[in-house]
Amino acid sequence: MKHIVVGAVAYAPQVLPIWDVIRDYANTYFKNTRLDYVLFSNYERQVQWLIGGKIDIAWNTNVAYIRTMFATQNKAQAILMRDTDIGFKSVFVSKKGNVKNIEDLRGKKFGLGSLDSAQAAIMPLYYLKGHKIQECDTSLIHSIHTTNGAINIFRFNSDLGKHGDTGRSEFDVLDKVKAGELDAGAIGSTTWARIMQEGSYPQIESFYASPDYCHCNFTCLANFDE
């Protein structure tokens, strides 16, 4: 009997029953293989265990996947992805009528989520720099330093280690935009879809959506038994 151990990060209470269902479903159909899972408090430890051979497969964010590829010198692979993780976007939001486009952000206060969140920090910075707009990085919402042609960046590192999975830092950004303490900010497309469905931030609109990119995947090392 072969055993496969999958790693996942416990970013919310509902993670446990989800993986119970996945394990039981898999073991109903596997003939000579048994699936089990272990939960981690952060992706960095999960990547360590995957590289060290303590788990066989990791349910990784895109950031954790890139970290794995870098640490193994590209001797890892993504073997499976959900359709909902294809076509992911970063969305820039502001109060209605406040910001028309990215160029209009010059000299304004812009919020980013946790620094290890692809959708709320890493990719938004990448797209801002693609427009040749400099960043003036500050740490406190009340510490303002305006530079001509630059954006004043404010970070909300409220769920580090989870790579933005909790969405908490994105709602920190939304709340500051709503309160008028930020001119605009970045969130993920799933958070944007959620607040549109709930109608929870009626005063906020989107003025930019990034090109598509991929999010989570099942990662294994290159020598994993096909």
- Closest alpha carbon to 62 in 9, 127, 118, 126: 118
**Which of the four pLDDT bands, split at 50, 70 and 90, describes residue 139?**
low
> Confidence band (pLDDT; 50, 70, 90) for 59?
very high
pLDDT given for residue 140 in this prediction: 46
pLDDT tens digit sequence for 12-37: 999 999 999 999 999 999 999 999 99
Average the pLDDT over 119-124 and give the result: 97
What's the chain's average pLDDT? 92
* Confidence band for 149, pLDDT divided at 50, 70 and 90: low
Average pLDDT over residues 157-183: 96
Domains and CATH numbers, the chain: 2-85+215-221 (3.40.190.10), 90-209 (3.40.190.10)
Whole-angstrom distance, CA of residue 144 vs CA of residue 122: 22
Burial pattern 118-142, b for ≥16 Cβ within 10 A else e, equals bbbbbbbbebbeeeebeebeeeebe
Compute the average pLDDT of residues 129-142.
Answer: 66
Q: 166 pLDDT exceeds 60? A: yes
**Threshold 0.85, pTM exceeds:** yes
Q: Is the pLDDT of residue 104 over 90?
A: yes
For residues 134 and 144, what is the distance between their CA atoms, to the nearest angstrom?
A: 15
How many Å apart are CA 62 and CA 70, to the nearest integer? Answer: 12
